[in-house]
Amino acid sequence: MRIAIIGILIFSCMAFVCSAEEVQMPPNIGPQIRQVTGDSTVCLDATRYPKFYSYQSDNPTCGEYLKTEYDAQSVTGNQSSKGFSLAPLWLKSKYSGTKDKKPPLSVNPGYQEIPGLNINYRPEEAYRKTANLLVTWTVRVEAYKHCGANNNRCASTSTAEYCDGDAYKLWPDLCSVWHGTSNQSFPGGEVKTALFVNGVQKGTESIMTIPDGGVTSSYQPNDPTHTGSFLISADSFPEKVLPESIDISVKWYNDTSMQIKSPAKMRNLIVTVVPRERITE
């Protein structure tokens, strides 16, 4: 009888100790996947002028100014004093004949929404401190050299009124006097995508260098693909808890003189939610 009583006491003690311990248990529900795909073709305008690499004109002063590569250190107000090739589109030529006319862009547009790549997720209350959200995205882009409308690849752009066909017209917006020829090229540059969570950029930018667009009229588009990923957890937020509503979107920025296009069905955003909870035994 004495042995049986001791055994009961030991078992009770073990049960008491176990009940006071908090242990991590496997999730009692599997991962949840949310996915969206961009259904339509979307475009992103250029943010730079082309390279004005050669000319024949009766205004060599303006021609040499345009041919010289823009220097960010020479900008005063909205003008570059020492060159204009590849200058941002929110600057004006210092030889412009339209002093009151605004440049193609009023300001640097910054990152812009990619239509179709947005998910709103509302985490279950039980998992707001423990769930992980793995976000991945893929965006295929094509780059086209042109100034205005580009043969129905995309809608007319912010630079359309500054163009003559695929090239920028020099008079009167870039040179107050111009009779002659301007040869322009569309060099490669960077296109970026980034993840935004509740309006705040998270993680590192995904940067792809777009190859040179060339100067010939026969041209095949360059089509690199952007990929990126980021893990969202409670530690991603100051309160160390997932917000009641999480708005997840991918945005892009075009730092080139070419127009960027993302074809329909060629981009997606996937959010994989891995619930975890703490269980007390």
Q: What is the pLDDT of residues 237-265, one digit of tens each?
A: 999 999 999 999 999 999 999 888 899 99
Predicted TM-score (pTM) of this structure: 0.82
Pick the more confident residue, 52 or 143: 52
Q: Where are the beta strands (DSSP E) in the chain?
A: 22-24, 32-37, 42-44, 51-57, 75-76, 79-80, 112-121, 132-140, 142-144, 163-164, 167-168, 180-185, 189-197, 200-210, 225-232, 246-255, 259-262, 267-274, 278-280
Pick the more confident residue, 166 or 154: 166
Integer CA distances (angstroms), 216 to 20, 49, 212, 220, 241, in order: 76, 17, 11, 10, 55
Delineate the domains of the chain, giving CATH numbers in brackets.
Answer: 27-280 (2.60.120.760)
CA gap 223, 164 in Å, rounded? 26
Look over the chain and give the mean of its residue pLDDT values, rounded to a whole number: 83
